[in-house]
Structure 1
Amino acid sequence: AGGTPMEVNTIAISDGVTMGTEGMKASLVSREVIADSIELVARGHMFDAIVILAACDKTLPASAMALIRLDIPGFVLYGGSIYPGRFHNRDVTIVDVFEGVGANSAGRMTDEDLSILEHAACPGSGACGGQFTANTMAGALETLGLSPVGMASVPQDDPRKEKIGFRAGEVIMDQLRQGLLPSQILTRPAFENMIASACATGGSTNIVLHSLAMAREAGIDLTIDDFNAISERTPVIADLMPGGQYTAVDVYNAGGIELITKRLIEGGVVDGSQLTPTGQTLTEATAHAEPTEGQKVVYTVEAPLKPTGGLVILKGNLAPEG
Structure 2
Amino acid sequence: MVEGLDRVRVIYLVFAVLAAAPVAIYSFSRVRSKKMSLSKLEVLNTFLRVTHKVMPLGFGALFHVVPSEVSKSNKVTVRMKVPNHLCIGPAGSGGMPLSVLMSLFDDISTWSCVTSEAKKRPGVSVFLEAKWRATSDGVPPRATILPPGREVRIESSMMKRGRQMSFMNIECRDDKSDELLAEGRHTKFLPMGFGYEFLFEHLFPFADLISKAVGKEGKRNDRLIEGASKKSIMSHIGELKWSEDKVGVAEATFKVLPIHKNPMGGMHGGAQSVLAQLAAEELMKGTKVGVKEMNMTYMSMGKGEVIVEASQGGSGDVKVTLRRKKGGGVVSEGVFNF
Q: TM-score, normalised by structure 2?
A: 0.23
When you count helix as a share of all residues, which structure comes out higher?
A: 1
Q: TM-score, normalised by structure 1?
A: 0.24
When you count strand as a share of all residues, which structure comes out higher?
A: 2
Larger Rg: 2
